[in-house]
Each structure stands twice: as C-alpha cells, then as structure tokens.
Amino acid sequence: MKSKFFIISFLFILISTLFSCAAKQIVKVIGQEHTHQDTGWQATWWEEDWERQVYQSYINIARCWLSLKNYPYAIRAYEELMEELPMDKFVVADSFFQIGKIYQEISDYEKAIEAYKNLFEKVPEPERYDEAIYRQAVCCEAIHEFTKAYKGYKKYMRLGEDKEFYRQAQQKVRQMEQDGDGDGYPFYKEQEAGTSDKDFQNN
C-alpha cells in the first residue's frame, strides 16, 4: 500500500508544470534495463513487474523533487523506495548512494558520509561501491577529517587505474603525503593537527 507521501507526490507531479519533464523521465526509466541482484529467492514474473513499477515510480518522484530543489522530499522518496523493496540489493545500494549524493551536493557532508557508510554496511560489494568510496573521502576532507579522507583516497586508488576518479584521488594523495618542513609529519596530519608545512619556508 502506497504511503500518503507517495500519493501526494504523484498527484503533485501530475498537476505541476513539470508534467512533461516527468513523462520524459518515465519513458527514459522504462527503457532502461533494471537488473536485480541475487537476493536468495526466486521472484515470479508478476512480482518482478510490480517491483519494476514501484522502482520506476519512486525514481521519477525523486527526480522531479530534485528538479524543484526540494531535497528533503527527494531523499524521502529514496527512503520509501527502500522500504518498499528492502530485499533488492540494487535498489538499496542505489538509494543510499543517491541520498549521499544529495546531501553532498547541499554541503551536508556528515549526513552524506553516513549515507555512504550505510551503503557499505548494508549491501556488501554494491554496484555504487567505487564512486561511493571516492565521494565519502571528498566529504571527509570537506569537514577536515583529513586522515579519513587520505585513507579513503588510498582505498579508491587500490581499486585500479581504470576508475573514473583515479587521477583526482592520486593527486589528493600526493598532496597529502607531502612533508614540506621535513618534520616527519605528512601534510594531511599537519592539517588535522592545525599546524602547517609552511613553517619550513621561514627557515
């Protein structure tokens, strides 16, 4: 049974000026293949069809709320999607990733970090694993948790040079490992301690 939020959101989208945008998104999502991960149970054809419709509906609701910059409602749409399909690993992983991404884009970095953490804990080896590691490191750096950021960038680099943000992560690691004043403390530790490698320039 759909929640009150779902019904209100759906009706709002239908009567809003974004109706055409919503329709295009529906067509786009319907045309995409949604591959279910192995969840340990065999779904019948009608269960899969129902899940697909639920997935498409909530995704469109979330995207339309995002287009209106109503971030709390967009996040809520992803949360309800997980409640509707809690056994679908793809849905859970993607929802946590999207929630983290939204929080990151509005500079609520701590909540973004928590969303990415939930992704790692609740869905082993999720499809969004690679980018989530990088994004979490970026968020840690933004709130001056430099050691966690450094470890995150290093972890991302170990995934391989073919990854999308490998060069960015590599550059961050190189910068953080610098020890300009030769005191044995790399730059990221100096930052976290509130000191600076610039001291050596005055010697």
129 lies in the same domain as 157: no
- Greater confidence, 55 or 138? 138
132 lies in the same domain as 175: no
Question: Residue 114 and residue 102: Cα distance in Å, rounded?
Answer: 12
For 128-153, write each residue's pLDDT tens digit.
899 999 999 999 999 999 999 999 99
Give the pair of three-digit tokens for residue 172: 């961050």
121 lies in the same domain as 161: no
41 lies in a domain? no
Domain range enclosing 52: 47-143
For 171-202, write each residue's pLDDT tens digit.
999 999 887 666 667 778 777 777 655 543 33
Task: Tell which phi-psi region holds residue 87, choosing left (phi > 0), alpha (psi between -120 and 50) or beta.
Answer: alpha
130 lies in the same domain as 65: yes
Does 77 score more than 90 pLDDT? Answer: yes
Average pLDDT over the chain reads 79
158 lies in the same domain as 176: yes
**What's phi and psi for 103, nearest 5 deg?**
-60, -40
Our count of domains for the chain comes to 2
52 lies in the same domain as 130: yes
Burial of 142 (0-12, 13-18, 19+ CB in 10 A): middle
Does 24 score more than 60 pLDDT? Answer: no
Q: How confident is the model at residue 126, as a pLDDT? A: 67
12 lies in a domain? no
Q: How confident is the model at residue 62, as a pLDDT? A: 93
134 lies in the same domain as 159: no
Question: Residue 5 and residue 137: Cα distance in Å, rounded?
Answer: 33
For 78-98, write each residue's pLDDT tens digit.
999 999 999 999 999 999 999
- Greater confidence, 12 or 194? 194
Q: What is the pTM of this model?
A: 0.73
